[in-house]
Amino acid sequence: MADIEQEPIASQANNTAENTPSVGDNPKKSFLSKIPHAKIVVPVGILCLLLIGGIVMFTYVNQQQKKQTQEKVYQALHAGNFKVAQNLAQEALKKNPNDKYLKITLIDAISGQGNQTGKEKEALTKVQPYIDSALATGANDRDTLISVGYAYETAGEYEKALGYYEQAITLDPKFAQAYFHKGHTLAFLDKAQESQAAYDKSYVLDSNNPLTLLVKGNMLQKEGKYTEAVEAYKKAISNPETLEEFQTYLENSKGDTTKLTPEQLKNYDELLALAGKAKREKAT
């Protein structure tokens, strides 16, 4: 048999020494050193992660601030503080000019103040640019249509208001609030039967709708059914979120008390007392 050549011991030792990393070598460093531009890629990756994290945090903070502003506007509007609601909405719109909620809230606030002060026509002139802006982007949005209709309703342009309410119903046939406003407008147009039908439809769709209950209570009160009226009002204010709106409604609808009989005035004051009691209970 031929002798098998063996590599000299010294040569084996040299090969081993070449393949064995020294004590000071860093395997990870050696690995990264084989990646082209690794020294640039890693810092850039970290920078990107920090940038993404900053964007996420900024977006979250911005959303929270937006939500808080919307809540303040909502509270002012439904407490009947229309001027405060206007100022808050206008200031917020400077930062969020395309915010649908702020646009329609501003329309409601200006219209509400006009209705409250008896300057409905002036209010419509003031609110017209905001109506045009809202319709430019929300012509097929039911909430926008309701607010626009309300602006025309408070200004006494009932046929025009009715048209917007009808559009809202077409978009959402189960929108109870649209039927309520339709009924209210038809009442102003002296279409009693159609008005009652719209109110009834609103009640069928949402028997807890505070606006419908308030109208129902008002009708019952006019008919002298005071016990039923009080029950309807009680149900309307059972939700704390509707309490401010309920109390504002009562205060604004009282009008000239000289036109109320002593019995009606007594019942009216009883309803205000119920609202006050509910407000105190809510505070505790």
Average pLDDT over residues 170-193: 91
CB 205 within 8 A of CB 174: yes
CB 159 within 8 A of CB 120: no
Percent of the chain exceeding pLDDT 90 equals 23
Q: Which residue has the higher pLDDT, 267 or 11?
A: 267
Number of helices followed by number of strands (H, E) in the chain: 14, 0
Instruction: Tell me the pLDDT band of 15, cut-offs 50, 70 and 90.
Output: low
Query: In Å, what is the CA distance from 65 to each residue of 61, 107, 230, 253?
Result: 6, 22, 39, 35
pLDDT at position 283, please?
Answer: 64
Average pLDDT over residues 111-136: 91
CB 282 within 8 A of CB 243: yes
Taking the C-alpha atoms of residue 226 and residue 15, their distance in angstroms, rounded to an integer, is 107
Taking the C-alpha atoms of residue 66 and residue 101, their distance in angstroms, rounded to an integer, is 11
**Which tens digits make up the pLDDT trace of 20-56?**
555 445 554 554 455 555 555 556 566 666 667 666 6
Note the Cα 121 to chain centre separation in Å. 27
Query: In Å, what is the CA distance from 137 to each residue of 93, 129, 141, 144?
Result: 15, 13, 9, 9
